[in-house]
Amino acid sequence: MTTIENFGENVSFQPQGIYFPENVDELLQLMSDHPESQFRAIGSLHSWSDVTITTGVLLNLKNIDSVTITERGTVVVGAGCQIKNLLAALSKKKMTLPSVGLIAEQTVAGATATGTHGSGRNSLSHYIRSVSIAHFDEDGRPVISTVDSGTELLAARCSLGLMGVIFELELEIRPEYSIEEHGRHHSTLNSIFEMEKTYPLQQFYLMPWSWSYFAHHRRETEISASRFTWVYRIYRLFVVDVLLHIVAMFLARFFRFKWAIRFFYRAVLPFTIIRNWKVADRSTNQLTMNHHWFRHLEIELFVRREKLPTAMDFLMDALKVFADQKSSFSKVINERLTALGIEKELENARGRYCHHFPICTRRIMEDETLLSMACGNGSEKPECDQRPTEGDRDWFAISLISFQHPSDRDGFFAFANFIGPCFAQFFGGRSHWGKYNQLSHETNLRLYPRLDEFREVIRRFDPEGRFQNKWLDRTVGQTES
Ligand SMILES: Cc1cc2nc3c(=O)[nH]c(=O)nc-3n(C[C@H](O)[C@H](O)[C@H](O)COP(=O)(O)OP(=O)(O)OC[C@H]3O[C@@H](n4cnc5c(N)ncnc54)[C@H](O)[C@@H]3O)c2cc1C
């Protein structure tokens, strides 16, 4: 039996078989050849959650990857096409995607199935116009459906592979554009928010142990590239993509002394960051990096704008407590933790994990989907007193990355198992479906008011639960009829 392992080396499983269909007919044949089996489709296996696991039939659609630009200003793309190949094909026609994440290694179906996002726009899922899916009917026969409207489209835009095997998607595209970027230090979140109107594509980083912020202020520009863009690219490649990652990995794996990590963030890193240098470059160059060159593990937490300041304060306290026996939470938080009955667990976790990478925070506009992390809250009103103004409905995604060795991640898991549920409980915080995520379906039912509608659609597309797995049972809930 073949063992399948994900990018982060935190998920491995043995499917009964793995197949690479070349076209839809082969896909349907495979589905009817395995009448008793469970199925799961995979993309590039870049998810850290257990979303890809199956002991049944594993389908890799990397051979179904055609790209066709339509006259409607959209692209029809095979599910297994990697985002980087789609971007390259679009670029030949001077077009691009409206939203991309930090890397472009994922497949189109894989990225959209978990609500993959960048900063300042919606998640990629939001831009899906139609989805073609191979699934089973009530008699267990494989059938094909194309969904392009209504609740079914909202479900299919971010479906976690539960609706069936997606073999083709139609996505919105836009003309290629350039982004001007510059970096600046900030001591408060408010000062970053103030820049948002001018730099709507910005993202920022909470620097651990100096507890200050560094923002990449970004906006669209008419200038396609600056004179010294090439120097900036080299700087980013060597200093950010390579050096910063090597140091973080080194600190996490070999220098287990907390003072070394703190010293690096307080006294070394600030002097390596270039500030206020405004550089324009093509959007794909500015928005993506080579983060996938170094193996890591990640949890990402989503909160509404009005919750972000208190959520950040809580996160800082939690990181201090996990790294240092001496730190403690504020009285209010302590009372809330006591009410949850988890102070004992926390006591055991003290000093077990020292965070060692900048905490990237990105703004995502509210998606029109049922289940992506940035989807709306149904009819729920925002918690601020005033009428919602533009941007009140935005989500902020906070990502925490660990470079510890795969065999030495207990401290990170303890931290992630604490912070995910606390964010859900205290701030209505959601966890990324494609990143480490252990929230229960009871919690998710509260966080995603349209989860029931999602399950209802799944029941129609997969009446026997053939695309379920144990993790999905736990996080989304049972979906069979
Ligand atoms: C280095 C790195 C950087 C990342 N950066 C970002 C980021 O910037 N923003 C962000 O939001 N996320 C990010 N992620 C997370 C990543 O985008 C998601 O986990 C994404 O789902 C991975 O896509 P994949 O093609 O590898 O899919 P997989 O991980 O293989 O699968 C993910 C899901 O897609 C489903 N699926 C795949 N193909 C099909 C299909 N044909 N039909 C039906 N279902 C299918 C699977 O069943 C599974 O549920 C990053 C991950 C890594 C490793």
CATH number reported for the structural domain that contains residue 370 in this entry: 3.40.462
Q: Is the pLDDT of residue 79 over 70?
A: yes
Task: Give the total residue count for the chain.
Answer: 481
Cα gap 354→407, rounded to integer Å: 16
**Ligand 1 pocket: which of 106, 289, 296, 363 to mutate (most atoms within 8 A of CB):** 106
Atom of ligand 1 nearest to the CA of 40: 47
Atom of ligand 1 nearest to the CA of 114: 21
Phi-psi region of 73 (alpha: psi -120 to 50; beta: other; left: phi over 0): left
Name the residue at shortest CA distance from atom 3 of ligand 1: 103
Q: What is the pLDDT of residue 390?
A: 55
In Å, the largest CA–CA distance within the chain is: 65
Tell me whether residue 237 is in a domain.
yes
Query: What pLDDT, in 10s, does the model give residues 304-362?
Result: 999 999 999 999 999 998 988 777 787 778 888 888 887 777 777 888 899 999 999 99
Name the residue at shortest CA distance from atom 20 of ligand 1: 111
CB proximity list for 103: less than 8 A, separation 6 or greater: 46, 288, 289, 290, 291, 292
| Cβ of residue 51 lying under 6 Å from some atom of ligand 1 | yes
Name the residue at shortest CA distance from atom 33 of ligand 1: 110
Band (51; pLDDT cuts 50, 70, 90): very high
| Cβ of residue 434 lying under 6 Å from some atom of ligand 1 | yes
Total domains in the fold of the chain: 1
**Ligand 1 pocket: which of 42, 147, 216 to mutate (most atoms within 8 A of CB):** 42
Side chain identity at 35, as an amino acid letter?
P
β-strand partners of 430: 302
| Cβ of residue 125 lying under 6 Å from some atom of ligand 1 | no
Cα gap 390→364, rounded to integer Å: 13
Tell me whether residue 161 is in a domain.
no
Q: CA distances (Å), 364 to each of 167, 194, 297, in order?
A: 27, 17, 22
Among 287, 344, 275, smallest CA distance to 103 is for: 287
| Cβ of residue 100 lying under 6 Å from some atom of ligand 1 | no
User: Ligand 1: distance of its center to the CA of 158 in Å?
Assistant: 11
β-strand partners of 212: 207
Q: Contact 258/323 with Cβ under 8 angstroms?
A: yes
Neighbours of 334 (CB within 10 A): 14
Sheet of strand 142-147, all strands in order from the earlier edge strand to the far edge: 67-69, 74-78, 165-172, 128-136, 142-147
Cα gap 203→216, rounded to integer Å: 5
Atom of ligand 1 nearest to the CA of 100: 8
Please, what is the average pLDDT of the chain?
92
Q: CA distances (Å), 232 to each of 51, 215, 277, 291, 464, in order?
A: 37, 16, 9, 17, 53
Burial of 137 (0-12, 13-18, 19+ CB in 10 A): middle
Query: What pLDDT, in 10s, does the model give residues 105-161?
Result: 999 999 999 999 999 999 999 999 999 999 999 999 999 999 999 999 999 999 999
Q: What is the DSSP letter of 292?
A: G
Q: What is the pLDDT of residue 259?
A: 84
User: Ligand 1: distance of its center to the CA of 56 in Å?
Assistant: 20
| Cβ of residue 110 lying under 6 Å from some atom of ligand 1 | yes
Radius of gyration from C-alpha coordinates of the chain: 22
Tell me whether residue 9 is in a domain.
no
Q: Is the pLDDT of residue 478 over 80?
A: no
| Cβ of residue 7 lying under 6 Å from some atom of ligand 1 | yes
User: Ligand 1: distance of its center to the CA of 252 in Å?
Assistant: 25
Over 54-104, what HEC string results?
CCCEEEECCCCCCEEECCCCEEEEECCCEHHHHHHHHHHCCEECCCCCCCC
Band (481; pLDDT cuts 50, 70, 90): low
CB proximity list for 92: less than 8 A, separation 6 or greater: none
Among 119, 114, 108, smallest CA distance to 397 is for: 119
Beta pairing, strands 279-282 & 165-172: unpaired
| Cβ of residue 374 lying under 6 Å from some atom of ligand 1 | no
Q: Is the pLDDT of residue 26 over 80?
A: yes
Phi-psi region of 160 (alpha: psi -120 to 50; beta: other; left: phi over 0): left
Q: What is the pLDDT of residue 391?
A: 66
| Cβ of residue 56 lying under 6 Å from some atom of ligand 1 | no
Q: Contact 399/206 with Cβ under 8 angstroms?
A: no
Q: What is the pLDDT of residue 388?
A: 44
Q: What is the pLDDT of residue 359?
A: 98
Query: What pLDDT, in 10s, does the model give residues 423-470?
Result: 999 999 999 999 999 999 999 999 999 999 999 999 999 999 999 999
Q: What is the pLDDT of residue 387?
A: 43
User: Ligand 1: distance of its center to the CA of 139 in Å?
Assistant: 31
Greatest mean pLDDT among 127-136, 252-261, 391-400, 407-416: 127-136
User: Ligand 1: distance of its center to the CA of 434 in Å?
Assistant: 6
Q: Is the pLDDT of residue 407 over 50?
A: yes
User: Ligand 1: distance of its center to the CA of 381 in Å?
Assistant: 31
Tell me whether residue 40 is in a domain.
no
Q: Is the pLDDT of residue 367 over 80?
A: yes
Q: What is the pLDDT of residue 257?
A: 62
Tell me whether residue 32 is in a domain.
no
| Cβ of residue 117 lying under 6 Å from some atom of ligand 1 | yes
Side chain identity at 394, as an amino acid letter?
D
Side chain identity at 99, as an amino acid letter?
S
Cα gap 435→84, rounded to integer Å: 20
Q: Is the pLDDT of residue 386 over 50?
A: no
User: Ligand 1: distance of its center to the CA of 52 in Å?
Assistant: 9
Mean local confidence (pLDDT), 38-50: 98
Tell me whether residue 168 is in a domain.
no
Q: Is the pLDDT of residue 383 over 90?
A: no
Mean local confidence (pLDDT), 30-36: 95
Q: CA distances (Å), 68 to each of 128, 174, 333, in order?
A: 15, 14, 53
Neighbours of 410 (CB within 10 A): 12
Q: CA distances (Å), 371 to each of 49, 335, 431, in order?
A: 16, 32, 11
Tell me whether residue 228 is in a domain.
yes
| Cβ of residue 61 lying under 6 Å from some atom of ligand 1 | yes
Predicted TM-score (pTM) of the model is 0.95
Domain that includes residue 206, residue range: 178-447
Among 75, 70, 72, 71, smallest CA distance to 85 is for: 75
Tell me whether residue 16 is in a domain.
no
Q: What is the pLDDT of residue 479?
A: 65
Pull the structure tokens for residue 77.
Answer: 């793309």
Band (273; pLDDT cuts 50, 70, 90): confident
| Cβ of residue 40 lying under 6 Å from some atom of ligand 1 | yes
